[in-house]
Amino acid sequence: MSRAFRLFWTGWLFNMKNLTMSGFFILNATIMPIFFATIAHYMFASGSRPGSGLLYASLGAGMMGIWSSVLFGSGGLIQWQRWQGTLEYVISVPPRLIEVVLPMTVATASIGLYSIASTLLWGRLIFGLPLDFIHPAWFVVALVASIVSLGLLGLVLSSTFVLLRNANSMSNLLEYPVWLVTGLLISLSLLPGWTRPISWILAPTWGIRGLRQAAVGGDPVLPIVMCVALGLIYLTIGHYTLGYFEVRARKSGTLALR
Amino acid sequence: MNSVRLFFVGGLTSYRALFYWLSPTIYIPSLIVAPIFQILLFAYIGRSAGLESDVFYVTGNAIQYAAIPCLFAMSQTVSGERYQNTLSAILVSPAKRFPLFVGRALPVMGNAFFVSAFSFAAGCVILGVSLPAGSIPGLAVVIFIAAFSCTGLGLTNAAISLRVRENAVLSNVIFGFLLIFTGANVPISELPAWMQDVSHVLPLTHAIQAARDLAAGEPFSDVTGLLATELGIGLAYLAGGLVLLRVFEWQGRKHATLEQL
């Protein structure tokens, strides 16, 4: 157990440092959410229903950044290892593949912390947003639960996108729809009823709900529990899909092929 | 004659090379599906905020999305060559720079027109937006001019790519700026005064306004002033881009940094 934890911690820390050194990841994780938060802020401030507020926009845009990091970071993760020529080492080391990949996907979600931090800081510095959350401790718990569950969703993405030739195009395809259907900047009640089940099985829906209820009031426990439950489901799916990929690649000898 | 050949054949060849990697599996999600969802996202935020009608977001976002093909494809004219180690071979050639780079811009402009027009039509169908039938030819002209002016900005972006290595990030940042400052989603009158000033010197702002006026039923003659301004802005960015290309090429030669990744 301690070995698995040590492996996770070391892998997570290394990948966090690695991604932090990437100008592409950091600039996209910090600047793009600020753009979306700015637009949402002006839209709500100018509209006839401005009640949702700046904090609503900041948290929603921050979660958008986390999803983008997971989508592009985890979605192309195995392909990236393949391009770098490190996939063989990732697979042939003694620990199981999932133990090596999981810290990487959770790290891509953790990079999204920069998004939340940048949008909250932007709100505070530019618009004087008060950061006095109603349940600060629950906010931290909700944030950790969101990051971990999105990281586990990244595990599923990493092991399924690898079967596609162009993982990046799938990432482009899924960015806006998930922002929309998980209600990061809108009320889900506005969307058609058939979208509701889709939003329920996606961690960002519950993550943003937990963060908002911890920040502005409400009960954040159910969303946090949902994040944990979905995370366990993603872990199970990811375990099987990653295993399928590994067996298939080993059998067909296509591990290093692009 | 050589310059004309370079303009058309060189531009077409370069663009076909772009499609080598911009295959349908990349093109459709990135340039067909994504703009439709951008329109839907902002239309729903608009409904949530009670700000503007759906036609406002369809026109704004469909035209603003022309920025994606323009910025990314134009920056590829430099960074793609650098990645393939062919940039110095191109810049050492005696080819005139105007037909060399502007020829590459022509297919980009055509693609931006298609992406914008398609997402405009799809957005209207999905959100049930109806436009006056007489406005459609005028809207086509507006989209064409928007694609031209944004290609001018794309050329400037391509020139900056000679100095900035993270050109994908730069293109994303410019895209984000355009999303805010062109009034695609927030009426310009609602932005702070300094942002309004900036918006007036950016491509797409006047085209978006012209498209909204046409969609509201105004005659084409009423938007010619806006289109002339948009055209002028596009020409200014195009000229600026060519000058910057010259300057940065000279600097790259001087410091031997052309191929530096």
Residue-by-residue DSSP string for A29-80: HHHHHHHHHHHHHHHHHHSS-GGGHHHHHHHHHHHHHHHHHHHHHHHTHHHH
Half-sphere exposure of A63 (CA within 13 A, CB side): 32
Residues of B in contact with A50 (CB under 8 A): 49
| pLDDT (tens digit per residue) in B109-163 | 999 999 999 999 999 999 999 999 899 999 999 999 999 999 999 999 988 888 8
Asked if residue A217 belongs to a domain, the reply is yes
Count how many domains chain A has. 1
**CB–CB contact A190 B44 (8 Å):** yes
Asked if residue A171 belongs to a domain, the reply is yes
Query: Please, which pLDDT band fits residue A50 given cuts at 50, 70 and 90?
Result: low
**CB–CB contact A190 B48 (8 Å):** yes
Q: How high is the ipTM of this complex?
A: 0.89
**CB–CB contact B29 A169 (8 Å):** yes
Asked if residue A49 belongs to a domain, the reply is yes
Q: Tokens at residue A183, please?
A: 């209600």
Asked if residue A58 belongs to a domain, the reply is yes
Asked if residue A257 belongs to a domain, the reply is no
Burial class (CB in 10 A: 0-12, 13-18, 19+), B205: buried
Residue B117: how many CB atoms within 10 A of its CB? 18
- Note the pTM of the prediction, 2 decimals: 0.90
Asked if residue A258 belongs to a domain, the reply is no
3-state SS, residue B109: helix
- Domain range for A140: 2-252
| pLDDT (tens digit per residue) in A126-167 | 888 888 889 999 999 999 999 999 999 999 988 887 776 666
- Positive or negative torsion for Cα A17, A69, A118, A144: negative
Look at residues A158, A163, A206 and name the one whose alpha carbon lies nearest to residue A182. A206
Note the Cα B131 to chain centre separation in Å: 24
- Percentage, residues of chain B above pLDDT 90: 58
Asked if residue A163 belongs to a domain, the reply is yes
Identify the closest residue of chain A to B36 by CA–CA distance.
A176
Q: How far is B99 from chain A (nearest CA, A)?
A: 32
Report which DSSP code applies to A131.
-
